[in-house]
Amino acid sequence: MSDPVCQDLRKLPEKERMALAVQGPTFIFDGVCNLCNTALRFVNDRVKEDSDVKYMWTNHPDTLKVLAKYDVDEEDINKSWGYLKDGHLYRGSTAWLMGIRELKAPWSWGYYLIYVPTCIREFV
């Protein structure tokens, strides 16, 4: 059985791929770090059935093109996660909290940590 939330964007024309990525929801991660890969598997296993989550690896040419639109380079994005939704790029803990809204309850409730000041969230 195929995973209903994963969509193979590689088969689409580049312009359409980019538009879908920026529209989101799209998680951006390095694809190398074991912590990031484990976290992505965690997310993918808990995504809502009606969510159309996409994933982009920072070292992929398409990702670099998208990041260039936001004036973010590959080295900078590798320091923290990225999350694209409705044309907005979120970074760090804000990216995580915006992204977990795509997960099933009770995981999605973690979004309310967004009200904790960023300086505290990033420190932790």
Is residue 14 within 8 A of residue 70, CB to CB? The reply is no
pLDDT digits (tens, 9 = 90+) for 11-40: 777 778 778 888 889 888 887 778 878 888
pLDDT digits (tens, 9 = 90+) for 70-123: 888 777 777 778 899 998 999 888 988 999 999 999 999 999 999 999 888 887
List C-alpha distances in Å: 83 to 1, 11, 49, 79: 27, 22, 19, 13
Q: How far is CA 95 from the centre of its chain?
A: 7
- Dihedral in degrees, nearest 10, Cα atoms 39, 49, 104, 51: 70
Provide the mean pLDDT of the chain.
Answer: 82
pTM flag (> 0.85): no
For the residues of 30-77, what is the DSSP string, one character each?
A: -SS-HHHHHHHHHHHHHB-TT---EEEETTSHHHHHHHHHTT--HHHH
Mean pLDDT of 56-67: 84
Q: What is the pLDDT of residue 112?
A: 94
pLDDT digits (tens, 9 = 90+) for 90-99: 988 898 899 9
Distance, in Å, from the CA atom of 121 to the CA atom of 94, rounded to the nearest integer, reads 8
Nearest to 80 by CA among 101, 96, 64: 96
The domain defined by 9-123 folds into Glutaredoxin (3.40.30)
Q: What is the pLDDT of residue 4?
A: 40
- How do the domains of the chain map onto residue ranges? 9-123
Distance, in Å, from the CA atom of 47 to the CA atom of 50, rounded to the nearest integer, reads 8
Q: Which two tokens stand for residue 81?
A: 């996660």
